[in-house]
Amino acid sequence: MAALISHIFSSSALLSLGLYHLICTTRNHLKSPREYTVKPYHPFPLSSSPRLKHLQLYLLIFSLLIATAHQTLTSTDSDPLLKGSTPVHRFSSLQSSAVLFLFLILSFSLLLSETTSLLPFPSDLFFAIASAIFFLQFSVSSSSASVQVSDLQAKCDSVSARVSALSSLLCLLLACQPKLFVADVGLGASFCLQGLWALQTGLTLYVEGFIPEGCHRLLDVVSGVEGSTKCDLEESRLRAVAILDLVFVIHVLFVVVIVMVIYAVVAKTVGIRRFGSYEALPNLQLGDSNHVQMKSIAGTQA
């Protein structure tokens, strides 16, 4: 149950972060597309208090603290697993805890940069460091998937690694091209996708109704930290992997719909309506247009 709660908590934090980033990014771009520049942090709107202004950073740091503590405690679990006296999950949990701790340091540095003058943090440096940490997360998730006993856990970690690689690439693009609106929207969408997949992982591994047919949880593992699910037949494993691939595509489609709806709602709220990339020419008064036409005719006759 603790593992499922952890996945739900991670999903809520990532999904809310992604939605907030998408809304703020779209709003800033629609208000001033020519002066648009990516920002690593968007202050909370309609807040006169400095504390409420940085509410997003406080919540992010709080969430990262809980996630880091959970991964560290998971590494000390003493369940009788299948790989001897040194369970593999201890190392993978410690690696995940270290990556989360790096994100915590990055978020805390951003808070210091926003609230004090001790650490001026340029945006390109922030996104470059974030890209490196996301790539490290991709590496950790990939290695965890390769040594997992659980067939479903390995597949879930593999998909999560791909999303982390996408986030790393988008952060690198934003570090090099700070006016790239598409990459900024893609980064927010990747947060939403990672949050939805974290929820899907928790349901697939720890809720009986979501475990694919032919697979089951191992009863000798109390906490379900490793080897929590197993497929008895190769056919069942391939079927479960195909189902997870289909579910991932559905999540991607859902995120695309979210991006389109947010753009439409924010555009209507801001009051900007676009028809292509062309701007309407200013209307000329009747007298001015006649004057221009007469000058053109006179010039031709001469």
- Assess whether pLDDT exceeds 90 at residue 293: no
Mean pLDDT of the chain: 81
Identify the bridge partners of residue 230 per DSSP, sorted by sequence position: 216
Measured between alpha carbons, how far is 263 from 270 in angstroms, rounded to an integer?
A: 10
More confident residue, 24 or 49: 24
State whether residue 180 is helix, strand or coil.
Answer: coil
Looking at residue 40, what is its pLDDT? 87
pLDDT tens, 79-133? Answer: 544 444 445 667 778 888 999 999 999 999 998 888 887 888 888 999 999 999 9
The predicted structure's pLDDT at residue 72: 87
Closest-CA residue to 112 (of 207, 212, 41, 169): 41
Sign of CA dihedral 110, 131, 128, 102: positive
| CB neighbours of residue 297 within 10 Å | 10
- For residue 18, the tally of other CB atoms under 10 A from its CB is 23
Predicted confidence (pLDDT) at residue 54 exceeds the cutoff of 90? no
- Count helices and strands (H / E) in the chain: 9, 2
Tokens encoding 99: 């990556």
The residue to which tokens 């090099």 are assigned: 176
pLDDT band at 7 (very low <50, low <70, confident <90, very high): confident
End-to-end CA distance of the chain: give it in Å, rounded: 91
pTM (2 decimals)? 0.82
3-state SS, residue 229? strand
d(CA 237, CA 241): 6
Whether 6 shows a pLDDT value over 90: the answer reads no
Q: Which residues pair with 189 in a beta bridge?
A: none
What is the C-alpha to C-alpha distance for residues 151 and 212, in angstroms, rounded to an integer?
11
- Which sign, positive or negative, has the C-alpha torsion 283, 287, 290, 296? negative
Adjacent-strand bridge partners of 215: 231
Residues 17-33 have pLDDT tens digits of 999 999 999 999 998 88
Distances 96 to 12, 44, 187, 191, 258 between C-alpha atoms, Å = 18, 29, 21, 17, 29
| Backbone dihedral angles phi then psi of residue 162, each to the nearest 5 degrees | -65, -40
Find residue 231's DSSP bridge partners.
215
User: What DSSP character marks residue 216?
Assistant: E
Query: How far is residue 84 CA from its own chain's centroid?
Result: 36
Residue-by-residue DSSP string for 225-259: SSS-EEESSHHHHHHHHHHHHHHHHHHHHHHHHHH
